Amino acid sequence: MSSWILLVASGALEAVWATALGRSEGFTRLVPSVVFFAALAASMTGLALAMRELPVGTSYAVWVGIGAVLTVAYAMATGEEPVGVLKLVFLTMIVGGVVGLKLVH
């Protein structure tokens, strides 16, 4: 599997574990807590494997960027976080940065 595909999948899993962490209510709810730990382990493993072929800085920036954008997008889609024009502009900037890092690699 391509390191970039693995990195993108790991970034998506970052959004899963971040969302599950919020829903675990301090690890007092079982299902979100289990989802958190499973997604965290898979996300970190994927990031580590991608870093075998990709630079650490680029990998981490892409991983965090994808995770952050997807976490906020999910929160906005579910109504947990308000949607705003400036927020959308700045999220688009993060996506542009991620794409730019891929293009220059």
Per-residue confidence at 1, pLDDT binned at 50, 70, 90?
low
The mean pLDDT of 89-100, rounded to a whole number, is 96
Average pLDDT score over the chain: 96
**pLDDT at residue 70 tops 80:** yes
**pLDDT at residue 105 tops 90:** no
pTM over 0.85: yes
Identify which of 23, 27, 3, 7 has the alpha carbon closest to the alpha carbon of residue 67. 7
